Amino acid sequence: MYKQTCTNLLNLSKDEVKAWLDSFDSVITDCDGVLWVYGEPIAGSADAMNNLKTIGKSIYFCTNNSTKTRAELLKKGVDMGYHITENGIISTAHATAAYLKAHNFSKKVYVIGSEGITKELDAVGIAHTTVGPDQMHGSLGEFMSKHLVLEKDIGAVVVGFDEHFSFPKMTKAASYLSDPNCLFIATNTDERFPMPTLVVPGSGSFVRAIQTCAEREPIVIGKPNPAICAPLINQKIIDPSRTLMVGDRANTDVLLGYNCGFQTLLVGTGIHQLSDVAEWKQSKNPEDKKLIPDVYLPRLGDLLPFIVDKATGGSY
């Protein structure tokens, strides 16, 4: 319904929104920018998601944030009032570990990222380097001659969000990747975080820097790569044509929906806004057209009255 029209649901009648609600059985939602922003809950989102579950929709959280394990994301969601289970959480840290395990990876991983990645690697028995600061000491010459040490048996470089990203880390990553047999894996390519007043670099900024230096293209695990949802689709847990993808970022969330054949809902509480959609509608680039969502809401909580109205048979 409303395929790639960016129809504002608030401009529709109750009956039209009800028909739209009836058009999907499963909801996959992004987290940062939809459910919360930098750890602060977005008003109305929990009530909307919980009531979608009440009226029979299956609910999944799908995040490109690699800093937390699924268990940690579960706790965060539950603490904010979301009725979610660990099996309902799709995270890039977990998916990265699962990808390596599925490919019988037996070497060591050089990790640029956080403990979210290393804990998930530990859970599947894959060796890895430690995470944290790796600072530049002295001049380039001093660093190269006295401090640069490359580990042996590195078979993959995994890059996620790393608040300690540094010149030494980029040097080591690119050096390991000079071996064509070394895997280059990006948890995601989000350029920046949704923040009210600041621009905070995302994992994609670090990935692009290493990509440029190493002259290698990464395997991207997270959105918009449809592989992130492949288990749900292949095991027929969800029907793509009756699945709604909710997000605030068109080039990851909406594009994932496009790539998987999902319906898409863009909310205005994060990165992309209606002004961006207007530009894509005018663009002659076919890739931009893929970023146009089916429907739009200023915030996810705006859907709550329609959900409750459906649940109560119009007596709300």
Q: For position 194, what pLDDT does the model report?
A: 63
pLDDT above 90 covers a percentage of the chain that reads: 86
Dump pLDDT digits (tens) for 124-156. 999 999 999 988 888 998 888 888 889 999 999
Cα angle for residues 128, 129, 135 (degrees, 5° grid) = 160
Confidence of residue 250 (pLDDT cuts 50, 70, 90): very high
Print burial letters for 55-89: b (CB count within 10 Å at least 16), e (below 16).
Answer: eebbbbbbbbbbbbbbebbbebbeebebebeeebb
| Cβ neighbours of 33 (radius 10 Å) | 23
- Residues 158-176 have pLDDT tens digits of 999 999 999 999 999 999 9
pLDDT at 314: 65
What is the per-residue pLDDT for 192? Answer: 83
Q: How much is the pLDDT for 146? A: 83
CATH fold for domain 7-64+238-311: Rossmann fold (3.40.50)
Longest CA span, the chain = 75
The phi-psi region of residue 28 (left if phi > 0; otherwise alpha if psi is between -120 and 50; otherwise beta) is beta
Cβ neighbors of 127 (< 8 A, separation 6 or more) are 107, 108, 109, 121
Distance CA 269, CA 213 (A): 34
| Domains in the chain: boundaries | 7-64+238-311, 94-220
Task: Tell me the backbone φ, ψ of residue 206, rounded to 5 degrees.
Answer: -75, -40
- Predicted pLDDT at 310: 84
**CA–CA distance, 181 with 105 (Å, rounded to integer):** 12
User: What percentage of residues in the chain have a pLDDT greater than 70?
Assistant: 98
pLDDT score, position 312: 83
Q: Compare 178 and 311 and report the one with higher pLDDT.
A: 178
Task: Give me the mean pLDDT over the 37-41 stretch.
Answer: 87
**Which pTM does this prediction carry?**
0.86
Q: How confident is the model over 167-191, as a mean pLDDT?
A: 96
Convert the pLDDT of each residue in 191-241 to its tens digit.
887 667 888 899 999 999 999 999 999 999 999 999 999 889 999 999 999
Name the band, by pLDDT with cuts 50, 70 and 90, for residue 106. Answer: very high
- 309 in a known ligand binding site: no
* Active-site amino acid positions: 30, 32
32 is in an annotated binding site: yes
Coil, strand or helix at 271: coil
Handedness of CA 46, 7, 258, 277 (dihedral sign): negative
Domain 94-220, what fold?
Rossmann fold (3.40.50)
Q: Is 297 left (phi over 0), alpha (psi -120 to 50) or beta?
A: beta
Confirm whether 7-64+238-311 and 94-220 share one CATH topology: yes
User: Is residue 265 predicted with pLDDT exceeding 90?
Assistant: yes
- CA-based radius of gyration for the chain: 21
Residue 223 marked in a binding site? yes
